[in-house]
A and B are shown apart, each in its own frame.
Chain A
């Protein structure tokens, strides 16, 4: 049962344009959401997060939007840069004793010059 889904395995965007990565979840108990970025031969690195009490969080070029009623979140990157080419993982957590982090399958973002 995939509780966190990233339905687009890959996305290609022109440099300077907006990149939008999407993520859907099924468990309404999730109360915290994160995005991690992964380069080849490296481990994932934390990018940005959002609590379920908010619907938007912004950090420089990165903005995460949360739509709780639709159980959907998205990551916007504006403007996209070549260094943004990586695999992006959406993750969600909920409190059940110790909190567990559930990851999506990842979306490979390619920024074309």
Chain B
């Protein structure tokens, strides 16, 4: 158990809809990262938050947004969903804000299926 909690584990929705993915980091970790894994693809970095502030941005679509709350949990909002958004979405956390050299702890992911 990594200590990172993601809910829900599975989400099935229709095109055009909006969903929210939730992540609780490990106790004491200040950074939260969101990654997307599509079929046969590696993990694509979406966005990082550190202590409530956006720290780094990757290949995140404008239809997607995220935030980190004062209690450090994070939410990833996906809107106007398309079939191609179907993927496994991972949240990870780390103690500091330098995401590259730090060990990331991953949640078990949310499997999103857009029908």
- Does B45 sit at the interface, judged by CB under 8 A? yes
Within 8 A of A (CB), among B35-76: 35, 40-45, 48, 50, 55-56, 58
Which of A41, A42, A98, A106 is most buried by chain B, counting CB atoms within 10 A of its CB?
A98
Are B97 and A98 within 8 A (Cβ)? yes
Binding site for B on A (CB under 8 A): 2, 4, 6, 9, 32, 36, 41-46, 49, 89, 91, 93-95, 97-106
User: Dominant SS at the B interface?
Assistant: loop
With A98-B98, A99-B101 known to touch, is A43 a contact of B90 (CB < 8 Å)? Answer: yes
How far is B23's CA from A58's CA once the two chains are assembled, in angstroms? 33
Which of A43, A46, A91 is most buried by chain B, counting CB atoms within 10 A of its CB?
A43
Are B101 and A32 within 8 A (Cβ)? yes
Q: Closest chain A residue to B102 by CB distance?
A: A99
12 of the cross-chain contacts (CB-CB < 8 Å) are A32-B101, A41-B108, A43-B4, A43-B92, A46-B103, A93-B99, A94-B100, A100-B56, A100-B99, A101-B33, A101-B45, A103-B45
Q: Closest chain B residue to A43 by CB distance?
A: B106
- Does B95 sit at the interface, judged by CB under 8 A? no
- Does B25 sit at the interface, judged by CB under 8 A? no
Are B100 and A101 within 8 A (Cβ)? yes
Are A98 and B108 within 8 A (Cβ)? no
With A43-B106, A44-B106 known to touch, is A103 a contact of B42 (CB < 8 Å)? Answer: yes
Q: Closest chain A residue to B58 by CB distance?
A: A100
